[in-house]
Amino acid sequence: MGTGLVDRLTIGLVAYRRRRYLSIAGLLALFAVIIGVACGVGPENISFADVWKLLLSKLPWVNIDEGVTRTVSTIVIDYRLPRILLAGLVGAALSTAGATFQGIFRNPLADPYLLGVAQASSLGAVIGFMFFPAQSAGIGWIPVIALCCGIVCIVVLYLLARVGKTLPMTTVILAGVVLGAIFTALISFLLWKFANENHGMGIVFWLMGTCSSAKWLDVYVLFPYLILGIIPIYLYSRSLNIMQLDEEQAQQLGMNVEKVKIILLLSAALITAAAVSFAGSIGFLGIIIPHAVRLIWGPDYRFLLPLSTIVGAIFLILADTLCRTIAGGGEEMPVGIVTAFIGAPFFLYLLRQKKRVFF
């Protein structure tokens, strides 16, 4: 009897893992297809066949781009593809950071903007817009200053929230909220005091979230930060599962809770700062994607994290593609508007569910 139960549990666990691995593989295939479709969509539509000829021709020993004009190649490779990849990286970063924060704080309403890091990066971008050239050689000053401000915020937050050798979550949240309010006030002051009409419009558009100025160098710079932050998060996915019980129980199971919290907080804050530095403030993505993944595939962080990464990348690519095609006439809608339209109702739904749990 006991042996049969163990066998059934083992079979069920194997089937559970197989379904999750198949889901990851299927989403990766969908991700590749969506990149190809998004490369062909825009003011000038390009056939799916031409797009894939160009993309596959970038592989070693593949040369099948005959018949594709240089204009089409320039549009796809030099303009659309880096923008699509940047949107994918930003979506992956914000959704992974959101899932991590929700696991650390054991709250589905936590998001990457909780600790003030995004506001600090936004402040750096505003400073770059106002006092440095908006476009210069390489990646320009705006993302550089934004990323530096985000990293400084991470350090200040850690120094403020640390109590002895511990990092209480309540102190972290309070310090993050206060820092976020300070940085937001500084942004408002700079806009009021120094921004002229041209700077003001550019800053507001960037603060709404956009990938419109993406270049290949942006992708090359953002990618290492994303890898540097996501790898530790993935490595501690099992620890996040244990932390869902209770910190005391996690310690009794032999886990160094304070060490894990510090590593996860710093990693999630780093990828948040990097994402905001290159694409502005894109709200609600870090809430809706992890929670949707949790509803569909379950709360196991060993699968929740990679699934959130892929789904977040897919979602932001689709949202950005919609933004650059929906307005027409050469205009473009900031992608943060689309994510807010989708995320705000979803946030209210989560809030309502949370209310039912506690009251």
- CA distances for 304 relative to 16, 95, 292, 294, 301, angstroms: 13, 10, 10, 7, 4
In a domain, 288, yes or no: yes
pLDDT grade for 190, boundaries at 50, 70 and 90: confident
Query: Per the domain annotation, does 25 fall within a domain?
Result: no
Is residue 1 one of the residues assigned to a domain?
no
Q: What are the tens digits of pLDDT across the range 33-70?
A: 999 999 988 777 888 888 888 888 777 776 776 777 78
Whether residue 105 is contained in a domain is answered as yes
Count of the separate structural domains present in the chain? 1
Q: Is residue 79 part of a domain?
A: yes
Is 17 domain-assigned?
A: no
Q: Are 190 and 65 in contact (CB under 8 A)?
A: no
Q: Cβ(248)–Cβ(95) under 8 Å?
A: no
Is residue 329's pLDDT more than 80? no
Residue 141 lies inside a defined structural domain of this protein: yes
Q: Decide if 189 is inside a domain.
A: yes
Q: Tell me: the pLDDT tens digits for 112-166?
A: 888 888 898 888 888 887 777 544 434 467 778 888 888 888 888 888 888 877 7
Name the DSSP class of 75.
I
Kindly report the CATH number assigned to the domain that includes residue 122: 1.10.3470.10
- Its domain, for residue 348, covers 36-307+317-358
pLDDT, one tens digit per residue, over 207-264 is: 888 888 888 988 998 999 899 999 999 999 999 999 888 777 877 777 888 889 889 9
The string over 212-239, giving b where at least 16 C-beta atoms fall within 10 Å of a residue's C-beta and e elsewhere, is bbbbeebbebbeebbeebbebbeebbeb
At 167, is the pLDDT very low, low, confident or very high (cuts 50, 70, 90)? confident
- State pLDDT tens for residues 264-314: 988 998 899 889 888 888 888 888 899 889 888 888 999 999 999 999 999
Over 50: is that where the pLDDT of 357 sits? no
